[in-house]
Amino acid sequence: MQRAKQPTLHTQRLQAIAIIMYRVKNGLAPPYIAELFVVTNSQYHLRNSDFTIPRFRTVAHGKHSLTYLGPVIWSKLDKSIRSSESLHTFKKRIKLVDFTSLLDSTCEDCSLCNN
């Protein structure tokens, strides 16, 4: 029996977070979600400076929250993916990203990263 090439649940969750960040960046997200993130407005062209990455107090909850993990994932995506012209194109491109190499391997105890 041959198995379908389905992404893991972990990869699906990280793809969903990346899609939320695309919607926030392009004004497609509802206001209650868009208000969770701080968009960086800088006169300098800094690398990966679309969102401010917030500080957290506890590793158990803060590091795995949407408000922290969203900007981290967004900043690590390739610029060609982040600058996709439509949501449909972004979703196609995000399916090709290897999230295991994108994120660090130091977070193995959380339910999101535990496969």
Confidence grade of residue 115 (pLDDT, cut at 50, 70, 90):
very low
Phi, psi of 39 (to 5 degrees): -80, 130
| pLDDT for residue 99 | 81
Domain assignment of residue 68, yes or no: yes
CA atoms of 52 and 55, how far apart (whole Å): 9
Asked if residue 35 is part of any domain, the answer here is: yes
Structure pTM? Answer: 0.77
Residue 70 lies in a domain: yes
For the chain, the domain total comes to 1
Residue 60: its pLDDT value, please? 66
Which residue range forms the structural domain that includes residue 46? 9-99
Per-residue pLDDT tens digits for 60-85: 667 778 888 888 898 889 889 989 99
Q: What is the pLDDT of residue 59?
A: 64
71 Cβ contact partners less than 8 Å away, ≥ 6 residues apart: 21, 37, 50, 51, 52, 53, 54
In a domain, 104, yes or no: no
Summarize pLDDT for 16-25 with one digit per residue, the tens. Answer: 999 999 999 9
pLDDT of 93 reads 93
Determine, yes or no, domain membership for 80.
yes
> Residue 113 falls within a domain, yes or no?
no
Is 2 part of a structural domain of the chain? no
Query: Does any domain span residue 51?
Result: yes
